[in-house]
Each structure stands twice: as C-alpha cells, then as structure tokens.
Amino acid sequence: MPDNTQVLFKSHPQAMPIPDNFEIVHVDLPPLEEGQFLLENQYLSLDPYMRMLMGGGWTYSGPGMTPGQLMVGRVLGRVIETKNADYAIGDHVVGRLGWQSHAISDGTDLDFKVEARQDVPLSAYLGACGSTAITGWVGIKLVGKPREGETVLISAAAGSVGSAAGQIAKAMGCRAAGIAGGRDKCRLVEEVFEFDACCDYKADDLAGQIAAACPDGVDVYFDNVGGRVLDAALVNMNKYGRIPVCGVLSAYNDGGDRYGVENLHLVFDKTLNIQGFLLADHHDKWPEARAELEDMVASGAMKYRETIAQGIENAPEAFIGMLGGANVGKQLVKLV
Ligand SMILES: NC(=O)c1ccc[n+]([C@@H]2O[C@H](COP(=O)([O-])OP(=O)(O)OC[C@H]3O[C@@H](n4cnc5c(N)ncnc54)[C@H](OP(=O)(O)O)[C@@H]3O)[C@@H](O)[C@H]2O)c1
C-alpha cells in the first residue's frame, strides 16, 4: 500500500489562519477489506467553509473540527485498487474524504461517481460542474428566482460560486452585475465571465458604483459576503427584491469583531425577501444541476477559471491565499 500524506487540523486560528494551524503527517494505509477500494486523490477543493470548521462551535457545514482531526475537504479521486464490484480501477469519484493523498472508501461516503465526458475536464467536477457551481445554480434558480429582464447582483463574483451564479443568471436572460475585490478581478468578471458590469468593493462609494452598474435597480442580490457589501446592496434593491444569502465571507476571519449591518430597515421599507440557503438541503437537485452545468461547460457557455496549487504539502498556504482573495475562480490543489 502507498504512503498516505495527510493535512491535520492542529489549532484554532485567531483571525486569518496561519501555517502553524495545520500539521502534515505521513501514515500507513491498512489493507482493503471486502467492499472497499483505494483512491489516489487527484485534486483537492479548498473552500471558505473550512475556515468556519476551524473555528470550533457550530457551522453550517457540520460540527467544527477538533485539533488532531483530518482537515475536512472534498476531493476528486481515482480508484487504484478495489474489492468492490461497483468501483473498477480507473473510475473517478468525488467525495468529502479530506485533505489527504489517498483514501479508502466503500462508496457510501461519496457524492457521486464521475461519468467521464471527453468535453468536460475532470477538475471541473470540483468547480464548474461541482458543488460550488451547483451552489450558484441552487441560489439563483431555486431561491432568488430572477425573471427574464431582471437585474441580478452577485458578490465574490470572481470566485467559484459567484462566477457561476452570474453566468446562470445571464443564461436566464437577466442583467448580471458583479462585485469583486480590485480592478483586475472586476475586469476578469466583465471580460471572461461576461457579466454586464462589475463593482470594486475595495474602491470608494460601493453603493454609488452599484447604482451606476444597475441603472434599473437590483431585483436579486446573491450575497456571498454579508457586512458592508450587503449594506451597499440593500440601498440599491428594488421593491419586492430577493436576497439569497449563500455565505458571509466578510465574517469568516473577523476574529469575533463583527460588523453590524446598518440598512436592515430597508428589508421592511422595500418588502424584501432575504433567505439563507444550503447546498446540502438540495441533494435531490444535484444531478439535474450537474447535467445542465456539464452541458454549459462543454458548449463553452459556462466560462470558468481555476487557481491550482501543486502538492498536498502546499494546501495550507493555498487555503490561506484563497481566504485573502489570491484565487481567481475555483481554488484547487493538484495532488498527483
Ligand atoms: N450556502 C452553501 O451551501 C454554500 C456552499 C458553497 C459555498 N458557499 C459560500 O459561497 C461563498 C463563495 O465561496 P467560493 O467557494 O466560491 O469562494 P471564492 O469566492 O472562490 O473564494 C473566496 C473569495 O472571497 C473573497 N473575499 C475574501 N474576503 C472577503 C471579504 N472580507 N469581503 C468580500 N469578499 C471577500 C475573495 O475575493 P475578492 O478578491 O473578490 O475579495 C476570495 O477570492 C462563500 O461565502 C461560501 O461560504 C455556500
């Protein structure tokens, strides 16, 4: 059996994680039992929810991690040994099997087996056809429900969920405006992901920028960040607008010094519907969403970017970078 390299959760970060919050270990793999198969993990997905799991306490993504535990994370793996007739050598699977180079599974802990297509790269099953793009699909199609011709505003628009959400809204005939950090990311959102406009939340007067980017006001605000960005979006919402709340990126590293949203009274004044949602609550829709996204990726209708770090040992650094905005699109680690 090969050597398994793992990244363990070592200690709770105070604010932004540091490399010392992680520990890299090498462990022996036990022999396979009947019904099990061995995976060589090829890509690891790095996601903001992992920062919440590092904080201890309650998180939307399950119980917080305890020191010494394998870092939680989704991987795309290839079967390299098998004692399970349903999983042949060479099959690819996606599952939340943790930050490690190898994993033993019996199939019950997986998200899905990849039905490989020539026109969809395997790494896309963790991003543009995977959980992040499906989150965008759920937030737009099932929660925000924009109608053709309406304006949809999306924060963290250069990231994995946001870039997909905007393109799904565009495919539904909506105007899509993004919010991202810095002029370069905004240019990418407009030129590569083909949003109609993008506002820079690191520049002055975000509310004014949104007003200029959304001349008819905002009907749906897909919120990935909360905080000051939500305040600026609230000012620009149209009456009866919808706000699917996908995440609160601005709070994950705040170290408990939480920003209080000032414009919540506008939820009443404008009769807004603000609704949190979880991808995990919509398991039944994943196959439909994935099939649609696969077709969009294959046809080129879904543009996507991946930021790929190399090697499991570099996962902590890549994760810290992603939380600080160093990524464009889906942050992955290539493991082989
Ligand atoms: N509801 C669910 O079930 C579910 C499922 C998956 C993901 N999510 C949520 O979806 C959101 C996006 O996740 P993702 O995987 O696509 O990550 P991502 O957007 O690809 O990467 C994180 C991005 O967050 C931005 N960011 C960091 N700090 C910020 C701050 N203080 N204010 C504004 N933006 C900040 C950075 O972009 P800039 O450079 O533009 O700042 C960074 O690139 C997260 O809130 C995540 O928790 C929710």
What CATH number corresponds to the domain at position 8?
3.90.180.10
Confirm whether 234 is domain-assigned.
yes
Which band of pLDDT confidence, cut at 50, 70 and 90, is reported for residue 177? very high
Q: Is 51 in the pocket of ligand 1 (CB under 6 A)?
A: no
Which band of pLDDT confidence, cut at 50, 70 and 90, is reported for residue 57? low
Confirm whether 289 is domain-assigned.
no
Task: State the distance from the centre of ligand 1 to the C-alpha of 67, rounded, in angstroms.
Answer: 24
What CATH number corresponds to the domain at position 272?
3.40.50.720
Number of Cβ within 10 Å of residue 130's Cβ equals 26
Does position 270 have pLDDT exceeding 80, yes or no?
Answer: yes
The mean pLDDT value for 167-184 works out to: 98
Are 66 and 157 in a shared domain? no
Are 56 and 147 in a shared domain? no
Are 105 and 147 in a shared domain? no
Confirm whether 34 is domain-assigned.
yes
Confirm whether 299 is domain-assigned.
no
Are 190 and 312 in a shared domain? no
Which pLDDT value is given to residue 256? 75
Confirm whether 274 is domain-assigned.
yes
Q: What is the pLDDT of residues 215-227, one digit of tens each?
A: 999 999 999 999 9
Q: Is 160 in the pocket of ligand 1 (CB under 6 A)?
A: yes
Are 117 and 232 in a shared domain? no
Tell me whether strands 151-154 and 175-180 are parallel, antiparallel or unpaired. Answer: parallel
Q: Is the pTM of this model over 0.75?
A: yes
Ligand 1 atom nearest residue 328's Cα? 43
Q: What is the DSSP letter of 177?
A: E
Which pLDDT value is given to residue 63? 81
Are 270 and 164 in a shared domain? yes
The mean pLDDT value for 206-217 works out to: 98
Structure tokens, 84: 């399970």
105 touches 36 (CB < 8 A): yes
As a whole number of Å, the end-to-end CA separation of the chain is 16
Which pLDDT value is given to residue 56? 67
- The domain of 9 spans 3-127+304-334
Are 94 and 180 in a shared domain? no
**Alpha-carbon gap, residue 98 to 93, rounded angstroms:** 13
Give the mean pLDDT of the chain: 96
Work out how many domains the chain is built from and give that number: 2
Query: DSSP readout, 216-270?
Result: T-EEEEEBSS-HHHHHHHHHTEEEEEEEEE---GGGTTSTT-PPPPS-THHHHHT
Are 170 and 205 in a shared domain? yes
Tell me whether strands 37-45 and 330-334 are parallel, antiparallel or unpaired. Answer: antiparallel
CA-to-CA separations, 56 to 46, 66, 72, 248, 321, in angstroms, rounded: 18, 7, 13, 17, 21
Are 160 and 32 in a shared domain? no
Confirm whether 288 is domain-assigned.
no
Are 175 and 98 in a shared domain? no
Q: Is 247 in the pocket of ligand 1 (CB under 6 A)?
A: yes
Are 137 and 259 in a shared domain? yes
Are 158 and 259 in a shared domain? yes
